[in-house]
Amino acid sequence: MAVLAAALGLFLLVNIVVGLIRVLRGPTEADRMLAAQLFGSTGVALLMLLAAALQRPALLDVALVFALLSAIAAIAFVRRYWTRREMTAGGDDGGA
Amino acid sequence: MVVLEYLGWGLVLAGMPFFAAGTVGLLRFPDFFCRLHALTKADNLGLGLVSLGLGLQSGSWLVAFKLLLIWLLVLVSSAAVSHLMARTALRNGVRPWRRP
């Protein structure tokens, strides 16, 4: 079963590497951020597999932190970079 | 317990095509909204099947509960972030792709 876990982890890594193509030539910054979102969830799955294969439950906490960080990164991207509507009327975030 | 182990690995294997579909969709789809749509499959269903399978074969309630908790966190955050990104894209004037 360890061989199967290693093969599946390698498959997820290949997914991440192939997704980097979109980071290279996504026409907009938003497309690159989408690729980063996908890397976040794939990395969480990879850490879960590793925790099961190596019998290290501590890796599940790392996966939890990964999930939190990818969400926070996407929200920060949308709110602070993608929209340049800070300090203008009409924004629903009440200004920065 | 052997049955649970095989069932768990089967579920993990069933989750892998969703990750592949997310990657392929991210590369092949024509615009931002289609890519976002492909990507949430990997978030929700792929990670859900992987965490369910690993929780079944872990054999301890604590590990299974933690896996479920990670999946629920990813579900909630993925839904919120996807909605936020799509709404911001619409407001920024990104036009949805139409069949030419």
* pLDDT of A27 over the 50 cut: yes
Is the minimum CB–CB distance between B56 and chain A shorter than 8 Å? no
CB contact under 8 A, A78 and B85: yes
CB contact under 8 A, A83 and B50: no
The tens digit of pLDDT for each residue in A48-61 reads: 999 988 888 899 99
Residue A84's pLDDT band, with cuts at 50, 70 and 90, is low
* pLDDT of A88 over the 60 cut: no
Q: Which residue has the tokens 């991207």?
A: A77
Tell me what pLDDT residue B75 has.
Answer: 93
Tell me what pLDDT residue A9 has.
Answer: 92
The model carries a pTM of 0.86
Stated as kind and residue range, the H or E segment containing A18 is helix A2-25
User: In chain B, whose CA is at the least distance from the CA of A9?
Assistant: B16
Mean pLDDT confidence for B17-28: 92
B10 chain-A contacts, CB cut-off 8 A: none
CB contact under 8 A, B84 and A48: no
The closest CB to that of A42, out of B42, B58, B78, belongs to B42
Q: Phi-psi bin for A89: left (phi > 0), alpha (psi -120 to 50), beta?
A: beta
Tell me what pLDDT residue B67 has.
Answer: 93
DSSP per-residue letters across B39-97: HHHIIIIIHHHHHHHHHHHH--HHHHHHHHHHHHHHHHHHHHHHHHHHHHHHHTTPPPP
B84 chain-A contacts, CB cut-off 8 A: 74-75, 78
Tell me what pLDDT residue A85 has.
Answer: 52
The tens digit of pLDDT for each residue in B40-77 reads: 988 889 999 999 999 998 888 899 999 999 999 999 99
The burial of A10, by beta-carbon neighbours within 10 Å (0-12 exposed, 13-18 middle, 19 or more buried), is given as: exposed
